[in-house]
Structure 1
Amino acid sequence: MLHAVALGDTPPPTVPAPAPTDPPTGSAATGSGSPEPAATASGTPVATEAVAAFQTALGAEHAAIYGYGVVGARLPDDQQRADARTALAAHQARRDAWQRLLGAAGATPSAAAAGYQLPFAVTDAAGAARLAAHVETRLAGVYADLVAAVATPRRATATDALRECALRARRWGAAPTAFPGIPETAGTASPTTPGNASPTEAASPTA
């Protein structure tokens, strides 16, 4: 499994990578064709739609980790780079948590793509901060969807992830929103992020 280059290393090569195949959802089917919830090691079932939502969150974390590799390579060795290292570690921890959860539920965690297409060129520290804000803003949207898809007690974990992404987005300069993770109405897109990007466009798999 390939991940982002370490913070402070040279930017990753721009060699196109094949798009990843659709990951299995890890759900089983009954004789009637209705999906059954997957069960974790603790015995708590994970609904089929929740497994799919966790796969989406895992894929978004893979992209965020890659994005922070680019961010760190363009930041000076100061507090911003320290913040980027902290954010990278947080996203790696979330990735690992979702991998464990999906594995325990009987699903195969989706793998990271070998390369990702950034939403815009990052050539300096200002662009790096803008990319970090974009990554966190879009990931907050993914976690808002996860909050809606899962039941307690996992909803609390998803809510924590949403809150952390929203706070990091603000730290990197994203505009404040009344409801982090929920798309704004037409014509009110944040100036720090392109208006019609998908949740993981911050670092989309290259074709």
Structure 2
Amino acid sequence: MADDSREVNTRTETTALQDALAAEHTAVWGYGVVGAALGLSAQQPAVDSQAAHRDVRDRLVALLEQRKTDPVPAKAGYTLPFPVLSAVDAANLAVVLEDGVASAWVHVLGGAADHDVRSLAVDTLSATEVRAVAWRSTAGKTPVTSAFPGLPDK
């Protein structure tokens, strides 16, 4: 019986990892839009955020391939939640990206059966909130922190 529950947990965990990978793909693409809307002197945080998401994406791809699971591919493009016409819009988009990634990682954490996956989820969730705080501050949003990153506000 324990083997059956472990199999179910692993399948649930793998599904959550695929969802997190999809969110990471979105963030990598979205930070291209964020960076393009920022002046040259303000682009470094977007470049750094994109690189961080690319690193996590690559770790997820490797993990899923180890599990003999085809990683969900990135889309050619994504629909923006609103027009990005200014630096404030760019910062707001970055917040949306980080919050989306955080939500996906909360689901990974909630269903993680493997210690290394739980650790990756906690580390990634923490990093997304650190980035989101900086972007919320740039966008002039308050509060700048989230008590429970990745969970719905209400």
- Same-fold call, TM cutoff 0.5: yes
Name the aligned partner's letter for residue 114 of structure 1.
A
Indicate yes or no: 2:28 matched with 1:65. Answer: yes
Aligned-residue offset at 1:153: 2.7
Residue number in structure 1 paired with 2:108: 146
| Larger fraction in strand | 1
**In structure 1, what is the Cα distance between the partners aligned to 2:11 and 2:147?**
31
Aligned-residue offset at 1:35: 9.1
What whole-Å deviation, never above 9, does each CA across 1:127-185 have from its counterpart, x for those lacking one? 11110011101211111111111131320110000010011111001532211111111
Residue number in structure 1 paired with 2:12: 49
Aligned-residue offset at 1:61: 0.5
> TM-score, normalised on structure 1?
0.66
Residue number in structure 2 paired with 1:168: 131
- Superposed CA RMSD in Å reads 1.8
Contact 1:63 1:112 in 2 (8 A): yes
| Number of residue pairs matched by the alignment | 144
**In structure 2, what is the Cα distance between the partners aligned to 1:69 and 1:37?**
38
Q: Which runs of 5+ in 2 are unaligned?
A: none
Larger Rg: 1
1:89 to 51, 69, 79: 51
Percent identity between the aligned chains? 37
| Larger fraction in helix | 2
> TM-score, normalised on structure 2?
0.87
**In structure 1, what is the Cα distance between the partners aligned to 2:92 and 2:134?**
11
Residue number in structure 1 paired with 2:60: 98
**In structure 1, what is the Cα distance between the partners aligned to 2:10 and 2:95?**
32
Q: Which runs of 5+ in 1 are unaligned?
A: 1-33, 39-45, 186-207
SS at match of 1:114: coil
Residue number in structure 2 paired with 1:127: 89
Which consecutive aligned stretches of 4+ in structure 1 deviate over 6 angstroms post-superposition? none
Indicate yes or no: 2:148 matched with 1:179. Answer: yes
Name the aligned partner's letter for residue 45 of structure 2.
D
Name the aligned partner's letter for residue 92 of structure 1.
R
